[in-house]
Amino acid sequence: MPQSSDWAPGGMVLRLSVPAGGDLRSVATDIATRVAAYLGERAPDGAAIAAALDGVASRVAPAATDAEITFDFRGVNGELVIEAHCGSRSSEVRCPLPA
């Protein structure tokens, strides 16, 4: 796995792959919210995390629904970082964790 410059050795990275289209992508939203809750001190804003995940997914997902999106979730400096990968495309979004 490629590591970005802000990756912390020993830090948690959770990877999830789901079909780009269909209902299973909602699993990624649920996981993102749960990871944010695990990393933060208070419950995260689920709607904001869902919007961030949908945004990053839309930047990498092709028009075909048979593709697969891989999401990486990790905490970096008080933020939930969500990376989305699909084929040769990738994008990242950061969501502040509630303190």
Distance CA 99, CA 97 (A): 6
User: Which whole number is the average pLDDT over 10-29?
Assistant: 86
Counting the structural domains of the chain, the total is 1
CATH code where residue 58 lies: 3.30.565.10
Band (pLDDT 50/70/90 cuts) for residue 65 is low
Torsion of CA 71, 96, 44, 4, to 10 degrees: 20
Q: Which of 47, 66, 57 is nearest to 84 (CA)?
A: 57
How many residues are there in the chain? 99
Instruction: Give me the domain span that covers residue 26.
Output: 13-96
User: Which whole number is the average pLDDT over 13-35?
Assistant: 90
Name beta bridge partners: 79: 76, 96
